[in-house]
Amino acid sequence: MPSIAVVGAQWGDEGKGRVIDYLAEEADVIVRYQGGDNAGHTVVFDDETFKIHTLPCGIVREGKGCVVGPGVVVWLPTALNELVLSERKGSTVWIDESAPIILPIHRALDAARELASGKDLIGTTKRGIGPVYSDFWLRRGLRMGDLSSKAKVESVLKTSGYFDELVSVMEYLKQYGSVNFLDLGFNIDPCSFEETVQWVMCQAERFVSRLCDTRMFVHDCLSDNQRVLFEGAQAELLDGYNGDRRNRTSSLCGKSGIAASFGVHNIDRVIGVAKAYLTRVGSGPFPTEQVNSLGDNLRTVGGEYGATTGRPRRCGWLDVVALQYAARMGGFTELAVTKLDVLTGQKKIPVCTRYRVEEGVIHLGRPVQPGFVKSTKTLTGELMGFVKPVYTQFSGWDEDITSVRTFEDLPREAQFYLNSIEGNLGLPISHVSVGAERDAIIKCV
Ligand code: IMP
């Protein structure tokens, strides 16, 4: 180690959970640094499958230190369940006292705003992520450290009419339809101040002994040469700064989120995780999407349904242009490619290596090569919405690769496919996953 970050290189759901789980074995401390329970990291451990949403994946491993940083937004019921799991498994959890708390009204607002958006909806996970981060940047809202006192909780919710203002927005949104609160995972009236305070306080006690200044804790761990694994959620193309105008999440998903939360600016390895093809949930441009039997086949073979919401994922071919952008913005030092086995049996595997616009094939960056059109637009801004992908076709393979454990034992075509991705990105591929089993990973470097 000593410090590794694992981050999403596409639109989330790349299989970060299993890469994190694989690396967690060697780590002393595993740190979640952003997002909330919009994430769903799947870990298979001791023949059990866990879907972990808020705490780090390391909670299922005895003796590991698990940190929830100040940039993570906490939905108390989920965090509580995961705390119980960690106690059962013998790991230790520390939660930052300044991590924001997601209230029922944040979830209600998220759902009500989606309803109000009609056909322009974002397709959020309805976990209240946008509303709680908005309040964070508006310098208001509950923090984990407030849980130690009911008076503090009440006073924070009352400061500058905070809670009342949220209620008035809910009232306004009622004209667009009513939201079923039970579907959102709570059974109180989210607009009731008293019920909200009670909802918070009846869960508070279990967290109080877990609170600490995790910025200092992580700093000390790194100073002591402990092996620290930073666990990213969501992904570079959904990042609050680098994602597209509307269809993005509200946190800093990559290395920048680690620097912002912990002041850790130098990380030894930043592993971007990408599927061997591409998926997206929610709305937004997806140039290589296959709305046809090819896409349906990827969804079926790859089991492409959301770990958090169960939604069917949109499926398509690998987009190397988008991956180059993610690698650049995310400062990746290497790539992990997941679900290579899902491509087995494809006669031809198209990969998008360029984007085309009306005027010709575009070149992103400088100098513009002869014959290419220069683009002045940001990839996730306007650009992705109207480009056509230019594909390079790769030969497929038929051999079952799920029991392969070395790069050399992969079919020649699969090796060529991976080598071409490396060549296009100028980054080494460090891990390749070839099956659902825990050990179905090829370690390449
Ligand atoms: P939010 O994070 O729930 O506000 O959703 C904003 C966008 O990010 C939507 O398009 C979601 O589908 C997407 N999103 C959020 N979390 C994840 C994730 O863990 N995997 C994949 N997409 C996600």
Expressed in angstroms and rounded, the spacing between residue 62 Cα and the centre of ligand 1 is 30
> Taking a C-beta distance cutoff of 8 angstroms, is the pair 352, 288 a contact?
yes
Residue having the nearest C-alpha atom to atom 8 of ligand 1: 249
Residue 281 Cβ inside 6 Å of ligand 1? The answer reads yes
Print the SS3 string covering 198-244. HHHHHHHHHHHCCEECHHHHHHHHHHCCCCEEEECCCCHHHCCCCCC
What letter represents residue 149's amino acid?
Answer: S
Q: What is the pLDDT of residue 309?
A: 78
What letter represents residue 220's amino acid?
Answer: D
Question: 109: exposed, middle or buried (C-beta count within 10 Å: 0-12, 13-18, 19+)?
Answer: buried
Residue 127 Cβ inside 6 Å of ligand 1? The answer reads yes
Residue 263 is encoded by which pair of tokens? 């002041």
Ligand 1 mutation pick, 234, 245, 279, max ligand atoms within 8 A of CB: 234
Expressed in angstroms and rounded, the spacing between residue 251 Cα and the centre of ligand 1 is 10
pLDDT band at residue 366 using 50, 70 and 90 as cut-offs = low
Q: Is the pLDDT of residue 310 over 90?
A: no
Q: How far apart are CA 424 and CA 11, in angstroms?
A: 19
Cis peptide before 2 (omega within 30 of 0): yes
Q: What is the pLDDT of residue 354?
A: 94
Question: Mind listing the pLDDT tens digit for each residue in 199-239?
Answer: 999 999 999 999 999 999 999 999 999 999 999 999 999 99
Q: What is the pLDDT of residue 31?
A: 98
User: Under the phi-then-psi rule, with left for phi > 0, alpha for psi from -120 to 50, and beta for the rest, what region is 352?
Assistant: beta
Q: How far apart are CA 444 and CA 405, in angstroms?
A: 10
> Taking a C-beta distance cutoff of 8 angstroms, is the pair 157, 193 a contact?
yes
Q: What integer is the mean pLDDT of 346-351?
A: 97
Catalytic residue selected from 13, 135, 146, 244: 13
Q: How far apart are CA 178 and CA 196, in angstroms?
A: 19
Q: What integer is the mean pLDDT of 295-318?
A: 92
Strand segments (E) across 25-86: 29-32, 41-45, 48-52, 65-68
Expressed in angstroms and rounded, the spacing between residue 23 Cα and the centre of ligand 1 is 24
Q: Is the pLDDT of residue 324 over 90?
A: yes
Burial 321-357 (b: 16+ CB within 10 A, else e): bbbbbbbebbbbbbbbbbbbbbbbebeebbbbbbbee
Expressed in angstroms and rounded, the spacing between residue 21 Cα and the centre of ligand 1 is 21
Ligand 1 mutation pick, 238, 273, 279, max ligand atoms within 8 A of CB: 238
Lowest mean pLDDT among 43-52, 140-149, 307-316: 43-52
Ligand 1 mutation pick, 7, 37, 51, 125, max ligand atoms within 8 A of CB: 125
Expressed in angstroms and rounded, the spacing between residue 243 Cα and the centre of ligand 1 is 11
Q: What is the pLDDT of residue 181?
A: 87
Helix (H, G, I), strand (E, B) or coil at 96: strand
> Taking a C-beta distance cutoff of 8 angstroms, is the pair 413, 397 a contact?
yes
**Residue from 304, 284, 249 nearest 42 by CA:** 304
Mean pLDDT value across the chain: 95
Q: What is the pLDDT of residue 182?
A: 85
Residue 133 is encoded by which pair of tokens? 């981060």
Q: What is the pLDDT of residue 6?
A: 98
Q: Tell me whether residue 41 is one of the annotated catalytic residues.
A: yes
Q: Report residue 363 CA to chain centroid gap.
A: 28
Residue 129 Cβ inside 6 Å of ligand 1? The answer reads yes
Catalytic residue selected from 21, 28, 37, 41: 41
Give the residue, 93 or 309, on which the prediction is more confident: 93
Q: Is the pLDDT of residue 365 over 80?
A: no
Residue 12 Cβ inside 6 Å of ligand 1? The answer reads yes
Q: How far apart are CA 327 and CA 98, in angstroms?
A: 30
Strand segments (E) across 9-127: 29-32, 41-45, 48-52, 65-68, 92-96
Q: Tell me whether residue 120 is one of the annotated catalytic residues.
A: no
Q: Is the pLDDT of residue 1 over 70?
A: no
What letter represents residue 284's amino acid?
Answer: G
pLDDT band at residue 364 using 50, 70 and 90 as cut-offs = confident
Instruction: Please enumerate in sequence order all residues whose Cβ is within 8 A of that of 256, keeping only pairs 6 or more positions apart, or say none.
Output: 239, 241
Question: Which atom of ligand 1 is closest in space to residue 283's alpha carbon?
Answer: 10
Question: Which atom of ligand 1 is closest in space to residue 127's alpha carbon?
Answer: 3
DSSP-derived secondary structure for 262-322: H-----SEEEEEEESSEEE-SSS--TTB--SHHHHHHHHHHT-B-TTT-PBPEEE--BHHH
Residue 235 Cβ inside 6 Å of ligand 1? The answer reads no
Residue 396 is encoded by which pair of tokens? 């497929």
> Taking a C-beta distance cutoff of 8 angstroms, is the pair 82, 54 a contact?
yes
Residue 238 Cβ inside 6 Å of ligand 1? The answer reads yes
* Strand 65-68 versus strand 92-96 pairing type: parallel
> Taking a C-beta distance cutoff of 8 angstroms, is the pair 285, 385 a contact?
yes
CB half-sphere exposure, 42, CA atoms < 13 A: 16
Residue having the nearest C-alpha atom to atom 9 of ligand 1: 124
Question: Which atom of ligand 1 is closest in space to residue 39's alpha carbon?
Answer: 19
Q: Is the pLDDT of residue 367 over 80?
A: no
Question: Mind listing the pLDDT tens digit for each residue in 90-137?
Answer: 999 999 999 999 999 999 999 999 999 999 999 999 999 999 999 999
Q: Is the pLDDT of residue 45 over 80?
A: no
* Angle between helix 150-158 and helix 162-173 axes, rounded to 10 deg: 60
pTM: 0.96
Q: What integer is the mean pLDDT of 249-261?
A: 97
Q: Is the pLDDT of residue 307 over 80?
A: no
Return the DSSP state at 265: -
